[in-house]
C-alpha cells in the first residue's frame, strides 16, 4: 500500500488533536508516515503509533524554532524525496497551510486547502471543501504531482489503530533561504484551562449583545458548565471585550463543533463562515429577526442576561 506523509503539529512532543484526526483520514488513502520536527519530535512517536503511523520520521534542529516556515519546508521536501508518498497531508493551521503551499510549489504539485473530508478516489484522494461561507460544498482533487492537502480540525474522528510507529531519523539539509526570516521573540499563549477553540466539542460564543468585557463572565460560566471553549464575534473582539485568539469567523477561527451556542450574535455572513458547519446550532438573541435564527436547531428569543444564567444553573443542576 502507498505511503502518505502526515505533518505532525505538536508542542514539545505533545501531539495536537487535529494531527490525530489527520491520521484517520490518511489511513483511507494509504499507510500514514508521520513527520515530526523540532523540540520533542521523537516524543510524539508513541501517540502517533497508537493512531496508525507505520513510521515516524523525526528531525530536531534549532532552525525550526528560530526561523519562520522555510526550514520546515526543507524538511518536508526531504521527507517527500525519501518516501515518494501518494499524498502529503497537513493540519489547516496558518503555518500548516504556508508550509504546504511552498512544498507543493517546490515538488510541482497542486494544493488543496481547508478540506473537511477526504476519500480515496480512482485518480487520487478526493477532498471535500466547504466554500462561500459554507453555503456550498465542493469535491476536488489534485491533478498534477503528489496531492498536497490541508485539512481543517474536527473533520474526522480520532481513532485508535495501533501500528508500528518505528522512529527513523530524517536527514535534512537546510536551504540557503531557510534563515531568511528570524524569530526574535516568542510569547507563548497563556492557557485558560478551557478546551482549544478549534478542537472543542462544544463552543459557547458571545457577541455585541454581551455588552462589555466584564459581562463575558456570563458566557464563560456557561462554557465551564458544559466543558466548552469560549468564542467571540468580531464586534466583541474589536470592542476589546475578548481576545482576538477567540474570534470565530472568516478572519478568526473556523470551528465545527458538535454544539455551537451563539449569544447576542446577529449571524453576519463573515461570522457564519466560521461556524456554519457546526453539527447543532443554538442561539439566544433578543431580536427575533436576527439572521442567526435561520441556522439554528433551537433558538430562544430573549435577553441573554436572563436566559444564559438560567441555562447555566440548569446545566449545573442536571449534571449534579
Partner 1 sequence: MSLRIVVTVKYVPDATGDRHFADDLTVDRDDVDGLLSELDEYAVEQALQIAEDADDAEVTVLTVGPEDAKDALRKALSMGADKAVHVEDDDLHGTDAIGTSLVLAKAIEKAGYDLVISGMASTDGTMGVVPALVAERLGVPQVTLLSEVSVEDGTVKGRRDGDAASEQLEASLPAVVSVTDQSGEARYPSFKGIMAAKKKPVESWDLSDLDIEAEEIGLEGAWTKVEAVAERPARTAGTIVKDEGEGGKQLAEFLASQKFI
Verify binding: residue 13, partner 1, rule CB under 8 A: no
Query: Taking the complex as a whole, how short is the minimal distance between the CB of residue 303 and partner 1, in angstroms?
Result: 7
The site for ligand FAD, by CB under 6 A, has a size of 28
Query: Taking the complex as a whole, how short is the minimal distance between the CB of residue 257 and ligand FAD, in angstroms?
Result: 16
Verify binding: residue 145, partner 1, rule CB under 8 A: yes
Contacts of residue 274, defined as CB under 8 A and 6 or more positions apart, other chains included, come to: 248, 249, 250, 252, 253, 254, 255
Query: Taking the complex as a whole, how short is the minimal distance between the CB of residue 25 and partner 1, in angstroms?
Result: 18
Output 126 or 282, the one with its CB closest to ligand FAD: 282
- Rounded CA separation 270/281 (Å): 16
Output 61 or 305, the one with its CB closest to partner 1: 305
**Distance of alpha carbon 34 from its chain centroid, rounded?**
17
Report which of 162, 1, 4 is spatially closest to residue 79, judged by C-alpha positions.
4
Candidates 180, 212, 217, 287: give the one binding partner 1 (CB under 8 A): 180
Output 168 or 287, the one with its CB closest to ligand FAD: 287
Which alpha helices (H) appear in 11-87, and where do they start and end?
17-29, 45-50, 63-66, 70-83
Query: Taking the complex as a whole, how short is the minimal distance between the CB of residue 200 and ligand FAD, in angstroms?
Result: 17
- Residues in 35-94 that interact with partner 1 by CB under 8 A: 68-70, 73, 93-94
**Distance of alpha carbon 99 from its chain centroid, rounded?**
15
Output 29 or 111, the one with its CB closest to partner 1: 111
> What separation in angstroms does the CA of 142 have from each of 99, 125, 184?
17, 8, 37
> What separation in angstroms does the CA of 100 have from each of 74, 79, 112, 114, 244?
11, 13, 9, 11, 25
Beta-sheet pairing, 55-59 with 31-37: parallel
Phi, psi of 175 (to 5 degrees): -75, 165
- Rounded CA separation 11/291 (Å): 39
Q: DSSP class of residue 225?
A: H
Candidates 38, 165, 252, 257: give the one binding ligand FAD (CB under 6 A): 252
- Residues in 180-209 that interact with ligand FAD by CB under 6 A: 207-209
Output 84 or 132, the one with its CB closest to partner 1: 132
CA dihedral 10, 141, 134, 236 (to 10 degrees): 30
Verify binding: residue 268, ligand FAD, rule CB under 6 A: yes
Output 33 or 308, the one with its CB closest to ligand FAD: 308
Query: Taking the complex as a whole, how short is the minimal distance between the CB of residue 55 and partner 1, in angstroms?
Result: 26
Residue linked to cell 441556522: 295
Query: Taking the complex as a whole, how short is the minimal distance between the CB of residue 249 and ligand FAD, in angstroms?
Result: 2
Residue linked to cell 462554557: 223
Site string (269-288) toward ligand FAD, x via CB under 6 A: -xx--x---------xxxx-
Verify binding: residue 135, partner 1, rule CB under 8 A: yes
240 binds, among ligand FAD, partner 1, none (CB under 5 to 8 A by kind): none
Verify binding: residue 299, ligand FAD, rule CB under 6 A: no
Verify binding: residue 231, ligand FAD, rule CB under 6 A: no
100 membership: H or E segment, kind and range: helix 94-107
Candidates 213, 240, 244, 287: give the one binding partner 1 (CB under 8 A): 244
- Contact residues: ligand FAD, CB under 6 A: 207-209, 233-236, 247-252, 264-266, 268, 270-271, 274, 284-287, 290, 303-305
Amino acid at each position: 500500500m502507498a505511503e502518505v506523509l502526515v505533518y505532525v503539529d505538536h508542542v514539545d512532543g505533545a501531539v495536537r488533536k487535529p494531527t490525530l484526526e489527520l491520521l484517520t483520514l490518511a489511513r483511507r488513502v494509504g499507510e500514514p508516515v508521520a513527520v515530526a520536527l523540532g523540540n520533542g519530535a521523537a516524543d510524539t512517536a508513541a501517540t502517533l503509533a497508537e493512531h496508525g503511523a507505520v513510521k515516524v520520521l523525526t528531525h530536531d534542529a534549532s532552525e525550526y524554532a528560530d526561523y519562520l516556515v522555510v526550514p520546515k519546508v526543507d524538511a518536508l521536501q526531504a521527507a517527500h524525496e525519501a518516501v515518494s508518498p501518494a499524498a502529503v497531508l497537513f493540519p489547516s493551521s496558518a503555518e500548516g497551510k504556508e508550509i504546504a503551499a511552498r512544498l507543493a510549489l517546490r515538488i510541482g504539485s497542486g494544493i488543496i486547502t481547508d478540506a473537511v473530508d477526504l476519500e480515496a478516489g480512482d485518480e487520487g484522494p478526493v477532498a471535500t471543501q466547504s466554500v462561500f461561507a459554507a453555503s456550498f460544498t465542493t469535491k476536488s482533487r489534485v491533478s498534477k504531482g503528489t496531492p498536497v492537502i490541508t485539512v481543517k480540525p474536527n473533520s474526522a474522528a480520532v481513532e485508535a489503530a495501533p501500528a508500528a510507529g518505528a522512529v527513523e531519523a530524517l536527514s535534512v539539509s537546510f536551504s540557503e533561504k531557510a534563515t531568511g526570516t528570524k524569530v526574535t521573540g516568542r510569547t507563548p499563549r497563556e492557557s485558560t484551562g478551557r478546551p482549544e477553540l478549534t478542537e472543542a466539542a462544544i463552543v459557547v460564543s458571545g457577541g455585541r449583545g454581551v455588552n462589555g468585557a466584564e459581562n463575558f463572565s456570563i458566557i464563560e460560566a456557561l462554557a465551564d458548565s458544559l466543558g466548552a471553549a469560549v468564542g467571540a464575534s468580531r464586534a466583541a473582539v474589536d470592542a476589546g471585550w475578548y481576545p482576538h485568539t477567540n474570534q470565530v469567523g472568516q478572519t478568526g477561527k473556523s470551528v465545527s463543533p458538535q454544539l455551537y451556542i451563539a449569544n447576542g450574535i446577529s449571524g453576519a455572513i463573515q461570522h457564519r463562515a466560521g461556524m456554519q458547519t457546526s453539527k447543532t446550532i443554538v442561539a439566544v438573541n433578543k431580536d427575533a429577526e436576527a439572521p442567526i435564527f435561520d441556522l439554528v436547531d433551537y433558538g430562544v428569543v430573549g435577553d441573554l442576561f436572563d436566559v444564559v444564567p438560567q441555562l447555566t444553573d440548569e446545566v449545573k443542576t442536571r449534571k449534579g
